[in-house]
Amino acid sequence: MTPAQRVAKAVEYGSQIHPQYAKEFDSGIAVAWHRVPSAMGCFGLWSDDNRAEHYDNLCAFDGRIVLAGEHASYLPAWQEGAVTSALDAIDRLQQRARVGGAA
């Protein structure tokens, strides 16, 4: 689809959830991230072997740093994956703070 077609489809789908969406819509932009050379893709995609080898390490604390995002979830390419990953990181951070293991 062209960018304009993608925006129109998003408005169409959004209107199924929020009937006023099309009426309130002003303008939009659509980016095919997988076609942007400098982006090198639009989401993390794990093979089973790579996930088995690297996923736990990616999600582990590194001193005071913990990563979160769709790439650190079992729901790649979805905002839900980013949110669940963030909630997991927050829960683990809170648990770490409660037991006094701040790094």
Quick one: pLDDT band at residue 102, thresholds 50, 70, 90? low
| Structural domains counted in the chain | 2
Query: Does residue 38 sit within a domain?
Result: no
Do 70 and 78 meet the contact criterion of CB atoms below 8 Å apart?
A: yes
State the pLDDT at residue 99: 86
Same domain, 93 and 59: yes
Least confident of 37-41, 44-48, 90-94: 37-41
Question: Is the per-residue pLDDT at 39 higher than 90?
Answer: no
Other CB atoms closer than 10 Å to residue 47's CB: what's the count?
A: 8
What is the span of the domain harbouring residue 59? 48-98
At 43, list the tokens.
């989401």
- Is 43 domain-assigned? no
Domain assignment present for 37 = no
Average pLDDT over residues 51-60: 96
What are the two backbone dihedrals, phi and then psi, of residue 80, each rounded to the nearest 5 degrees? -60, -40
> Both 92 and 59 in a single domain?
yes
Q: At 81, which CATH number?
A: 1.10.10.1620
Q: What is the pLDDT confidence band of residue 40, given thresholds at 50, 70 and 90?
A: confident
Say whether both 59 and 88 belong to one domain.
Answer: yes
Q: How far apart are CA 40 and CA 34, in angstroms?
A: 7
